[in-house]
Structure 1
Amino acid sequence: MSVSSAVVLAAGEGVRLRPLTRNRPKPMLPAGTRPVLEHVFDQLIDAGLGSITVVVGYRGDRIRSHFGSTYRDAELTYVEQHHQLGTAHALAVAAPVVDGPTVVVNGDQLVDRRIVEAVVAGHDASPVTLGVLERQAIGEYGGVLLENGAVSELVENPTDERPYRLNAGVYVVEPSLFETIERLEPVDGELSLVDAINALLAAGESVRGVRSDGYWLDATYPWDLLDVSRSLFDAGIVQDAVAESATVHESAVVLSPTVVDRGCEIGPGAVVGPDTCLGENVTIGSNAVVKRSVIDAETRIGPNATVDDCVTGVGVDVGHGSIVPGGPSDVRVGDRFFEGEPIGALLADRVTDRGGVTYVPGTIVGAAAEIDAGAVVHGTIPADAEVRS
């Protein structure tokens, strides 16, 4: 069956990744040095899909302005989900532009083209075909039970011991699914695509599940961006490279694997890497050490600073001699507490420290916070706050 179009669901914020998502949606966070959504588009296009509809919502202007109307010669069409009311609701927003079987993927998760190709090849007359992966732990994701290639049940966040496979969030759907979505009753104010598929199953419809060995990556919490970058290095998706326009002083050391994007400057005696991603126009000062970190665009790491297991937003300024000592650490995100997570600090967009600052492992600093010279920072610092020494 011929499938040539895709719908990408990219309307959500990614609340568990706050404060990184204060100014942009989760699909625009960096995977390596490029937005997650850019990787998604690449895999869809490599799988032969030349027409892509993007459902935008939260900070959708960031997506539109970054990509415009085409990407790698593929046509991009945008539709807006004005209120984020669930994945099925987001898909329904795209209904007017869907006139045949189409691929549906999440715009905030990285999926291999092999999963897309497998689901397209395995699609038949069923209203939905979905991709599944073998995983030891489903965790906070969706579990799928299969019987002879047919889906018998979908369970979000399963806790029992049945033989679940991971729902990869890659679907081929027929336009008839929209009729099911129209009849769906909201749960907690949202219409879920998983609930829509379970409604099909309850009505006796067949839903196919197709197994694949392709990679699947997601960042649920800020420290997951470190794991994503390492996985991209391991899979060869992000190449160990220094951009031609970057400047690396002859006495600096760049340890593999590290990617250094355009316009970066690495000063004398600095050590960068391994497992490090430097976004566009990042400056690493003399004798600074940066390792196992994702440093986003326009960020400055001052001379003699040490930055380990760190995630930054855009335009961060880490001052002279400041120290992010690395994880593991205990972290609080909202009302949840996590132990032993591998993050030294998360510094959101435009955080500025004045130098000589020490970050206790697990520190989260909100956007545009300012930290006085010599301060010791710990816990969660709200946006726009001033931390005094």
Structure 2
Amino acid sequence: MNKPSLVVLAAGLGSRYGSLKQMDHFGPSGETVVDYAIYDAIAAGFGKIVFVIRKHFEAEFKEMFGPKMEGKVQVEYVYQELDALPKGLSVPESREKPWGTAHAVMMAAPVINEPFAIVNADDFYGRSSFQKIHDHLSTLNNEELSACLVGFVLENTLSDHGRVSRGICQVDENGNLKEIIERTHIFKKENVGAYFEDEGVKTELTGKEIVSMNLMGFTSVIFEQMEEAFAKFYKEQSGHPKAEFFIPTTLDNVRKSGIKVPVLMSEERWFGVTYKEDKPIAQRNLNQLVEKEVYPHKLWT
């Protein structure tokens, strides 16, 4: 069987960050956050990296990442654009915002024929997270629909500087997913816990909830189901210019079809860069990991 692949969602425009954070420097030798994800994925045994990017920064992105990856892992680039739609669909006049994370993953279909994992380009997941999902994906029959999720504890994934989006999970006694709901306005409370807002209503959270950070895995037969689900989403939501097709919805559709979706709990402490103010925190965290010799001072040699 082919080694699992890693799909890196790097097409975001960083509106809350103020620039293309997927290409910003965070490590002591100028590494990006996603450099560490790729480094860990290669160490875990992933055989291919698929970057989902936008055409307008293609040259800059390839110049930054191409030389680092050469000779270390197979690399593919695919493109998320507004007009990259299934046959028969067109971009509504009011649409300016990208179609969401699940649409981004759909772009990888032509280059994926094996089980694969998904990561955000601006999130740090930790080496053991990649090892857990790699090892699980390596056991799957790619001809059968299957999915999994790496779970994190909510309080370990919040920003001090504003709202975040998380898929909040309910897990059964056997460690399988019962439900996942995307919450796009989760805020850290001043002391302990968190809350989310939905249409002006605040709902309290303990901070101990299991959440998805979009580190999920699927067999490649998922793409057929995703295209059908996107067509349904388009029919229902194309008149709403900010509606998005989220990858947690795809995962939940697998669960609803009767297939068990294991939640692989990670002990790692996640961090990411949603806001510009998150940058020095991420830099400090990465420097500490380098000082502990988890990573070399210069990641790529």
Same fold? TM cut 0.5: yes
Other structure's SS at 2:155 match: coil
Name the counterpart of 1:146.
171
Query: In structure 2, how many angstroms separate the alpha carbons of the residues matched to 1:2 and 1:114?
Result: 21
Deviations 1:60-80 (A, max 9, x none): 332111122734521211111
For the aligned residue pairs, the C-alpha RMSD in angstroms reads 2.6
Name the counterpart of 1:179.
224
Shift of 1:27: 0.9
Query: In structure 2, how many angstroms separate the alpha carbons of the residues matched to 1:72 and 1:215?
Result: 30
The correspondence of residues 284-299 of structure 1 with structure 2, limited to 5 A, is none
Query: In structure 1, how many angstroms separate the alpha carbons of the residues matched to 2:125 and 2:58?
Result: 21
- Aligned partner letter, 1:164: E
More helix by share: 2
Shift of 1:26: 2.1
Is the contact made by 1:43 and 1:111 (CA closer than 8 Å) also made in structure 2? no
Deviations 1:235-263 (A, max 9, x none): 33787xxxxxxxxxxxxxxxxxxx8x9xx
Is the contact made by 1:44 and 1:113 (CA closer than 8 Å) also made in structure 2? yes
Structure 1 position 74 matched with structure 2 position 88: no
Is the contact made by 2:156 and 2:270 (CA closer than 8 Å) also made in structure 1? no
Other structure's SS at 1:34 match: coil
The correspondence of residues 14-163 of structure 1 with structure 2, limited to 5 A, is 14-18=14-18, 21=19, 25-32=20-27, 33-57=30-54, 59-68=57-66, 70-71=69-70, 73-83=72-82, 84-123=98-137, 125=140, 127-136=146-155, 139=158, 140=164, 141-147=166-172, 148-157=174-183, 159-161=203-205
- Aligned partner letter, 1:4: P
Distance change >3 Å, CA 138–CA 212, structure 1 → 2: closer
Deviations 1:255-314 (A, max 9, x none): xxxx8x9xxxxxxxxxxxxxxxxxxxxxxxxxxxxxxxxxxxxxxxxxxxxxxxxxxxxx
- Aligned partner letter, 1:55: V
Residue 194 of structure 1 is aligned with which of 248, 253, 262? 248
Name the counterpart of 1:300.
none
The one of the two structures with greater contact order (alpha-carbon pairs below 8 A, sep at least 6) is 2
Is the contact made by 1:103 and 1:170 (CA closer than 8 Å) also made in structure 2? yes
Residue 210 of structure 1 is aligned with which of 243, 248, 264? 264
Is the contact made by 1:218 and 1:224 (CA closer than 8 Å) also made in structure 2? yes
Is the contact made by 1:232 and 1:238 (CA closer than 8 Å) also made in structure 2? no
Query: In structure 1, how many angstroms separate the alpha carbons of the residues matched to 2:291 and 2:107?
Result: 32
Shift of 1:97: 1.0
Name the counterpart of 1:304.
none
Shift of 1:100: 1.5
Distance change >3 Å, CA 7–CA 151, structure 1 → 2: same
Gaps of 5+ in 1: 240-258, 262-389
Identity, % of aligned positions? 25
Is the contact made by 1:56 and 1:78 (CA closer than 8 Å) also made in structure 2? yes
Shift of 1:169: 2.1
Name the counterpart of 1:248.
none
Is the contact made by 2:45 and 2:134 (CA closer than 8 Å) also made in structure 1? no
Q: TM-score, normalised by structure 2?
A: 0.70
Is the contact made by 1:150 and 1:209 (CA closer than 8 Å) also made in structure 2? yes
Shift of 1:190: 2.5
Query: In structure 1, how many angstroms separate the alpha carbons of the residues matched to 2:46 and 2:221?
Result: 21
Is the contact made by 1:142 and 1:154 (CA closer than 8 Å) also made in structure 2? yes
Q: Which has the larger radius of gyration?
A: 1
Distance change >3 Å, CA 154–CA 30, structure 1 → 2: same
Distance change >3 Å, CA 71–CA 27, structure 1 → 2: farther
- Aligned partner letter, 1:143: I
Name the counterpart of 1:224.
278
More strand by share: 1
Distance change >3 Å, CA 52–CA 145, structure 1 → 2: same
Distance change >3 Å, CA 26–CA 129, structure 1 → 2: same
